[in-house]
Amino acid sequence: MNGGAKRLGRVAEGGQSGSNGEPDPTEVAVMFTRITSLDQDRIVRILLLAEHRRREAAGRESRVPAAD
């Protein structure tokens, strides 16, 4: 697998940096000049798993009752 980073930067959620008290996520754009289909499949699976975990965590946060 050959390639390199095309872009790396912070992404502010909601247009405000650190507005939720957590660090802003990092955006990375990668360009592969040569990649096997097996490596491509592995990358896609990792990204899908990360997104699934992010959504699960967001869902748990929205179901937590507010403290009075």
- Residue pLDDT, tens place only, 12-68: 655 444 455 565 677 778 888 899 999 999 999 999 999 999 899 888 877 766 665
Could you tell me if residue 44 is inside a domain?
A: yes
Could you tell me if residue 29 is inside a domain?
A: yes
Could you tell me if residue 19 is inside a domain?
A: yes
pLDDT reported for residue 14: 56
pLDDT reported for residue 39: 93
The domain of 43 spans 2-63
Could you tell me if residue 68 is inside a domain?
A: no
Q: How many domains does the chain have?
A: 1
pLDDT reported for residue 1: 77
Contacts of 3 (CB under 8 A, 6+ apart): 30, 31, 32, 33, 34, 35
Question: Is residue 6's pLDDT more than 50?
Answer: yes
Could you tell me if residue 30 is inside a domain?
A: yes
C-alpha distance from residue 8 to each of 1, 3, 27, 45, 68 (Å): 20, 14, 6, 21, 41
pLDDT reported for residue 41: 95
